[in-house]
């Protein structure tokens, strides 16, 4: 069956006065119906820009090349009118900071009903009922009253729920969640992740969960894609990735997480060094300066993403960790 | 969505640049600003070096020519003559001295008042800050020109007082900016660290706060100068500013406006040089603002 | 909302008081009296004149008398125009100045907003640079340079419009243009900067992500947010137009208040100068209040403060 989203050889770059920044480099992946793909990486890894390219939300100086297919239909660089038939309808996106992502000058009601009025041709009243319904589903108390309020009258966690509700109004088949919990308190994070899990079970929609926090991925993602310096470092099902990471970077990420089940008061393990400058990328493997396993082939030749087992791929010259 | 989201990665390849070197680089890339700077320097030089350029004196009357006569290139009257058969072009240059001097002096006055007011309010904070800024708010609502005009009426048109008067009504923006900067800098951790390690308040102000304020202050100074020149020209135009035999660009434009039917070159010349100067100053100010506080424009 | 307005009103009253007091005491400080210019009059006549105008009373008493008069709409007699009271002059000239100023501000808003939004939507294009350079000229060049040049070109050379006077529609054109040009420029620049910032904001990104048509995103989301700084600028805009009108009325011989102010200043007609300043000061304060009200309507954060 066709994947919901099929990305092939995506290249996204930005032209700046100081040169071209290659944010996404030859990235390919797909998301099947109903599955949750976790995309992990630090700032600058390109994880968000992939989906900005998919949704046509790149900044003015950004260019995306390659192929992005939504259920078999090519959507990369589609004309805005055509793209608007998919955005918000079949494919929705929620963002990191719910305060700035909601229009402070319009009521929540307006921001929700406009989606239904535009895409489903609903009347104001019908749209309002649907909006309140969805606010109930995302567990906003007193939804009927609250829907008339303005974003600044909601707390951080509730705003994110509002954003989720807004994204689900047209029952999309794919929800892209760009760091949905990063700006929230830890306790609220857990609630939002629970909500996403519940919605996924009830609607069967696919989710692309972008985060820098491995803890967020665990429990929600079926498959995980690890990004580094604009490229895919490793791709695997969630379980095997956590148990036996095959890329030094993934291993480093996992090791740097403090764990409750380790009793020894060890120093926190970190990955030394800094991510590379995307305008002046080093030759060979981009991770080699920080990799404890690097050998001569790493400097000479850039490792390509290769399949190493059923459903597993990595971009590393090492045979196995 | 903006490019700023891309982390370029600090260490290896990119060379760090100090704020000022960076700003200068950005300023020089702004063609309009650079061109304006050159033109402005030429105008300033022409005006202040006029006595040494071997030109006619500004009060030199030539009885052979008619008043408000047309430009006469053979005899060197680039803008023709004025009402009293004097060289209008030379008078314009000398008038420029007055206007530019007012510009710089009044700006200096507003700078001093504004910085002291703003820094004090921002540094002390609390009720005093609130009170001082209330006064700024109130003064902001008052139509300046009216007060400047009244001040000139009251003080019998002494030139220096005009400079002071204009400066005295132009300091409000400066005070606001300086106060804002002082507050944001004061809250930063390195100030707390300095205070905690016992650095005296005075040293904190001079060594840390003032250098960090300089950026926006410089921008506002460059934008205040044209405003001040404009204000002075305005009141001189109405006949309430500089008096004969001195003249500023405002008075010259005023005279030329009256006879524009018979001597259109006069208003074009005098008004033109005033306009070009103000335009250049505005472009320079804009360029400085972009250089010191870059946003994706 | 009421709370917000009350606070604004509370700030307005001391401001007005300061304007009145400041004007009054400044005028009284001026050396020489309103009669200093005329021929030397015999001492008894001078004393009688002073008494008639209450100028022989102590200063604070004169001030209270003035305040009292203001409350009754009496700005005192004009020292120069002997047959008129200042109030008569002001209210006689006001309709003219009002027409001029109102048309100017409406035009400035309409054209400035449109131009700013148009430029922002074409950011960094040639059209944008052109528009912004032209508006820079509008801001920098004083209106007393623009007005004569316009008059020269259109009034004299091309003979399309009259160069002075009032009464006919064609009289309005040149003065209104001279008056509103700088404000069109200022509003255009402000709108453009605000619009550019809003267009790259997160909530506009969300609107796009929701698949809303571009037209809706721009009007309902972007413009709505971008307009706020312009609303804040309304107060200063009105102040600038009032200031500009002083010169424009002079140049085009328009019988408005601005002209009285200039004459009064040159003639040391105290009461007239004070009256105009107080009147315009109050008008500006009123416009600021209206702008604040409008801002409160548009910004829900303020509304429910």
In this prediction, residues C261-268 reach a mean pLDDT of 80
Residues of B in contact with A212 (CB under 8 A): none
User: What Cα–Cα distance (Å) separates residue A63 from each residue in A11, A24, A54, A97, A120?
Assistant: 8, 10, 11, 24, 31
pLDDT-derived band at A12, boundaries 50, 70, 90: very high
Q: Place B73 in a pLDDT band, splitting at 50, 70 and 90.
A: confident
- Token code pair at residue A23: 């944010």
Is the pLDDT assigned to residue B14 strictly greater than 60? Answer: no
Rounded to a whole number of angstroms, the distance from the CA of A115 to the nearest CA of chain C is: 7
Residue C291 has pLDDT above 80, yes or no: yes
User: Is residue B181 helix, strand or coil?
Assistant: helix
Contact B9 A44 (CB under 8 A): yes
Q: Which secondary-structure segment (H or E) carries C152?
A: none
Whether the pLDDT of residue C247 is over 60: the answer is yes
More confident position, B124 or A229: A229
- Digit-coded pLDDT (tens) for A240-260: 999 888 888 888 888 887 777
Residue B8: the pLDDT is 39
Give the residue-averaged pLDDT of B112-136.
Answer: 83
Q: Which two tokens stand for residue A68?
A: 């992005």
Residue by residue, what is the 3-state secondary structure of C164-198? CCCCCHHHHHHHHHHHHHHHHHHHHHHHHHHHHHH
Q: Is the pLDDT of residue C228 over 60?
A: yes
Q: What 8-state DSSP symbol labels residue A46?
A: S
pLDDT at residue A53 tops 80: yes
Mean pLDDT, residues C102-121 taken together: 94
**Hey, CA dihedral for B274, B275, B279, B280, is it positive or negative?**
negative
Q: What whole-number percentage of chain C has pLDDT above 90?
A: 24
**Confidence label for A19 from pLDDT (cuts 50, 70 and 90):** confident
Residues 121-140 of B with CB under 8 A from C: 134, 137-138
User: Average of pLDDT values for B193-203?
Assistant: 73
Give the per-residue pLDDT at B10: 35
Within 8 A by CB and 6+ apart from B188, the residues are none
* Residues of C whose CB is below 8 A from B137: 11
In this prediction, residue C168 carries a pLDDT of 72
pLDDT at B17: 53
Q: Flag the least confident range among C32-46, C89-103, C236-250.
A: C32-46
Cβ A95–C216 below 8 Å, yes or no?
no
Q: Chain B 178-197, CB below 8 Å of chain C: which residues?
A: none
Between C41 and A47, whose confidence is greater?
A47
Which chain B residues have a beta carbon less than 8 Å from that of A278? 6-9
Closest Cβ–Cβ partner in C137, C142, C277 for B146: C277
Amino acid B276: pLDDT: 93
pLDDT of B11: 32
Mean confidence (pLDDT) of chain B? 78
pLDDT average, residue stretch C113-120 = 94
Mean pLDDT of A148-164: 93
Question: Does B13 have pLDDT greater than 60?
Answer: no
Name the most confidently modeled range: A34-43, A312-321, B101-110: A34-43
d(CA B71, CA B81): 8
| Closest among C113, B296, C211, B72 to A56, alpha carbons compared | C211
- Which of A130-144, B72-86, C2-16, C256-270 shows the highest mean pLDDT? A130-144
Confidence of residue A37 (pLDDT cuts 50, 70, 90): very high
Q: pLDDT value at position C32?
A: 57
Whether residues A88 and C298 touch (CB distance < 8 A) is answered with no
Test mutation, C148, C189, C270, chain B, max B CBs within 10 A: C148
Element (H, E) at C284: helix C270-298
Q: Which C residues, 43 through 102, put their C-beta within 8 Å of a C-beta on chain B?
A: none
Give the model's pLDDT for residue B297: 36
Question: With bands split at pLDDT 50, 70 and 90, how would you rate the model's confidence at B37?
Answer: very high
Q: Is the pLDDT of residue B205 over 70?
A: no
Q: How far off is chain B from C167, nearest CA to CA, in Å?
A: 22
Read off the tokens for B155: 């003080």
Which of C29, C140, C205 shows the shortest C-beta gap to B1?
C205
B125 pLDDT more than 80: no
Query: Where is average pLDDT lowest: B93-97, B133-137, B148-152, B254-258?
Result: B148-152
**Cβ contacts of A86 on chain C, cutoff 8 Å:** 211
pLDDT value of position A205: 92
Of residues B244 and A53, which shows the higher confidence score? Answer: A53
| pLDDT confidence of residue C163 | 67
* Residue C293 to residue C231: CA distance in whole angstroms: 10
User: Which tokens hold the place of B170?
Assistant: 């132009």
> Mind listing the pLDDT tens digit for each residue in A196-207?
999 999 999 999
Residue C212: predicted pLDDT:
94
Q: Which of A57, A95, A103 lies at the smallest CB-CB distance from C225?
A: A103
Read off the pLDDT of each residue in C265-277 and give the average, rounded to a whole number. 79
pLDDT band at B185 (very low <50, low <70, confident <90, very high): confident
Distance CA B95, CA B115 (A): 30
**Mean model confidence pLDDT for chain A:** 89
d(C-alpha B95, C-alpha B251), whole Å: 9
Contact A279, A19 (CB under 8 A): yes
Banded pLDDT at C34 (limits 50, 70, 90): low
Residues shown for chain B? 297
* Non-local CB neighbours of A292 within 8 Å, separated by 6+ positions: A248
DSSP A153: G
Helix (H, G, I), strand (E, B) or coil at B152: helix
Q: What is the predicted pLDDT for the residue at B72?
A: 77
Q: At what angle do helices A156-168 and A124-137 cross, to 10 degrees?
A: 130
More reliable by pLDDT, B59 or C138? C138
Q: How much is the pLDDT for B202?
A: 66
Q: What does pLDDT average to over chain C?
A: 83
Partner-chain contact A95 C212, CB within 8 Å = no
| pLDDT value at B22 more than 80 | no
Q: C41-93: per-residue pLDDT in tens?
A: 677 777 776 777 677 777 787 788 778 887 777 777 776 777 777 788 888 88
Choose the closest CB to C299 out of A88, A105, A119.
A105
ipTM, two decimals: 0.89
Residue by residue, DSSP assigns B6-62 as S---SSSSPPP--HHHHHHHHHHH-HHHHHHHHHHHHHHHHHHHGGGTTPPPTT---
Place A81 in a pLDDT band, splitting at 50, 70 and 90.
very high
pLDDT for A319 beyond 70: yes
Closest residue in chain A to residue C211, using alpha carbons only: A84
Residue from B2, B4, B8 to probe the interface with A (highest A Cβ count within 10 Å): B8
The DSSP bridge partners found for residue A177 are A94, A209
What integer pLDDT is reported at residue B15 of this predicted model? 44
Token code pair at residue C126: 């040639």
Say yes or no to pLDDT of A51 above 80.
yes
Give per-residue pLDDT as tens, C157-194: 666 676 666 777 777 888 899 999 999 999 999 999 89
Radius of gyration (C-alpha) of chain C in whole angstroms:
24
A178-187, A274-283, B280-289: segment of lowest average pLDDT = A274-283
Look at C166 and A62; give whichever has higher pLDDT: A62
| B18 confidence band (pLDDT: 50, 70, 90) | low
Q: Could you give the residue ranges of the DSSP H alpha helices within chain B?
A: 19-29, 31-49, 88-124, 126-140, 144-154, 159-169, 172-186, 189-196, 201-203, 210-237, 249-258, 264-292
């Amino acid at each position: 069956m066709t994947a919901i989203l099929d990305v092939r050889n995506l290249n996204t770059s930005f032209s700046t006065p100081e040169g071209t920044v290659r944010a996404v480099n030859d990235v390919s992946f797909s998301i099947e119906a109903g599955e949750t793909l976790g995309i992990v990486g630090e700032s600058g890894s390109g994880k968000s820009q992939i989906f900005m390219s998919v949704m046509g939300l790149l900044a003015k100086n950004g260019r995306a090349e390659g192929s992005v297919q939504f259920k078999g239909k090519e959507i990369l660089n589609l004309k805005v009118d055509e793209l608007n038939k998919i955005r918000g309808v079949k494919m929705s996106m929620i963002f990191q900071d719910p305060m700035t992502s909601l229009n402070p000058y319009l009521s929540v009601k307006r921001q929700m009903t406009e989606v239904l009025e535009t895409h489903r041709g609903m009347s104001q009243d019908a749209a309002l009922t649907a909006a309140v319904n969805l606010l109930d589903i995302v567990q906003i108390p007193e939804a009927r009253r609250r829907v008339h309020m303005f974003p600044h009258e909601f707390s951080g966690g509730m705003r994110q729920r509002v954003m989720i509700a807004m994204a689900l109004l047209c029952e999309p088949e794919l929800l892209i969640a760009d760091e949905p919990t990063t700006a929230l308190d830890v306790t609220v994070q857990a609630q939002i992740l629970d909500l996403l899990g519940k919605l996924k079970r009830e609607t069967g929609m696919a989710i692309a969960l972008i985060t820098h926090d491995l803890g967020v991925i665990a429990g929600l993602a079926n498959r995980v894609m690890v990004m580094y310096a604009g490229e895919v470092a490793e791709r695997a099902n969630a379980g095997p990735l956590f148990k036996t990471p095959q890329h030094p970077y993934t291993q480093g990420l996992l090791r740097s997480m403090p764990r409750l089940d380790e009793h020894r008061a060890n120093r926190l393990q970190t990955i030394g060094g800094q991510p590379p400058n995307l305008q002046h990328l080093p030759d060979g493997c981009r991770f080699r300066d920080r990799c404890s396993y690097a050998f001569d082939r790493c400097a000479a030749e850039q490792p390509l993403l290769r399949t190493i087992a059923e459903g597993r791929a990595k971009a590393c010259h090492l045979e196995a960790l | 969505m903006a490019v700023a989201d891309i982390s370029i990665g600090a260490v290896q390849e990119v060379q760090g640049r100090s704020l000022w070197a960076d700003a200068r680089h950005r300023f020089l890339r702004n063609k309009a600003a650079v061109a304006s700077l050159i033109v402005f320097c030429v105008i300033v030089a022409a005006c202040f070096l006029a006595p040494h350029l071997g030109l006619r004196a500004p009060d030199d009357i030539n009885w052979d020519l008619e008043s408000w006569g047309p430009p006469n290139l053979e005899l060197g009257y680039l803008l023709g003559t004025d009402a009293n058969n004097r060289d209008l072009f030379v008078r314009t240059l000398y008038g420029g001295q007055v206007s530019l001097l007012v510009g710089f002096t009044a700006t200096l006055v507003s700078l001093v008042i504004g910085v002291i007011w703003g820094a004090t309010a921002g540094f002390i904070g609390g009720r005093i800050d609130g009170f001082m800024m209330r006064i700024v708010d109130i003064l902001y609502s008052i139509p300046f020109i009216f007060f400047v005009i009244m001040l000139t009426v009251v003080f019998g048109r002494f030139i220096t007082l005009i400079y002071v008067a204009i400066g005295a009504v132009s300091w409000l923006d400066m005070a606001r900016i300086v106060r804002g900067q002082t507050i944001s800098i004061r809250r930063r951790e390195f100030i707390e660290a300095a205070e905690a390690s016992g650095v005296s308040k005075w040293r904190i102000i001079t060594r840390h706060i003032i250098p960090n304020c300089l950026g926006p202050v410089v921008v506002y100074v460059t934008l205040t100068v044209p405003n001040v020149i404009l204000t002075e020209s305005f009141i001189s135009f109405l006949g309430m500013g500089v008096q004969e035999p001195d003249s500023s660009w405002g008075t010259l434009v005023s005279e030329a406006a009256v006879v524009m039917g018979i001597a259109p070159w006069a208003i074009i010349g005098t008004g033109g040089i005033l306009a070009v100067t103000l335009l250049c100053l505005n472009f320079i100010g804009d360029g400085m603002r972009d250089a010191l506080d870059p946003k994706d424009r | 909302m009421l709370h917000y307005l009350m606070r604004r009103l509370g700030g307005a009253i001391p401001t007005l008081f300061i304007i009145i007091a400041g004007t009054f005491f400044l005028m009284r400080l001026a050396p020489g009296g309103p009669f200093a210019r005329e021929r030397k009059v015999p001492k008894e006549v001078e004393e009688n004149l002073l008494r008639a105008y209450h100028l022989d009373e102590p200063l604070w008493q004169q001030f209270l008398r003035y305040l009292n008069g203001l409350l009754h709409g009496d700005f005192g007699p004009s020292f120069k125009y002997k047959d008129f009271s200042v109030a008569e002059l002001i209210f006689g000239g006001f309709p003219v100045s009002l027409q001029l100023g109102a048309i100017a501000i409406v035009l400035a808003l309409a054209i400035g907003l449109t131009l700013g939004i148009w430029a922002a939507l074409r950011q960094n294009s040639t059209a944008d640079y052109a528009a912004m350079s032209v508006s820079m000229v509008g801001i920098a060049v004083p209106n007393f340079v623009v007005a004569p040049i316009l008059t020269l070109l259109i009034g004299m050379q091309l003979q399309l419009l009259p160069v002075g006077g009032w009464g006919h529609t064609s009289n309005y054109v040149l003065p209104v243009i001279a008056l509103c040009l700088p404000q069109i420029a200022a509003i255009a620049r402000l709108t453009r900067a605000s619009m550019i910032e809003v267009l790259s904001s997160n909530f506009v990104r969300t609107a796009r992500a929701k698949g809303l048509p571009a037209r809706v995103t721009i009007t309902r989301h972007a413009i709505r947010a971008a307009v706020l700084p312009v609303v804040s600028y309304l107060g200063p805009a009105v102040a600038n137009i009032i200031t500009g009108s002083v010169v424009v009325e002079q140049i085009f011989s328009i019988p408005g208040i601005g002209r009285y102010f200039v004459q009064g200043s040159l003639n040391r007609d105290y009461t007239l100068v004070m009256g105009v300043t107080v009147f315009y000061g109050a008008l500006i304060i009123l416009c600021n209040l209206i702008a604040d009200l409008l801002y409160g309507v548009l910004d829900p954060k303020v509304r429910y403060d």
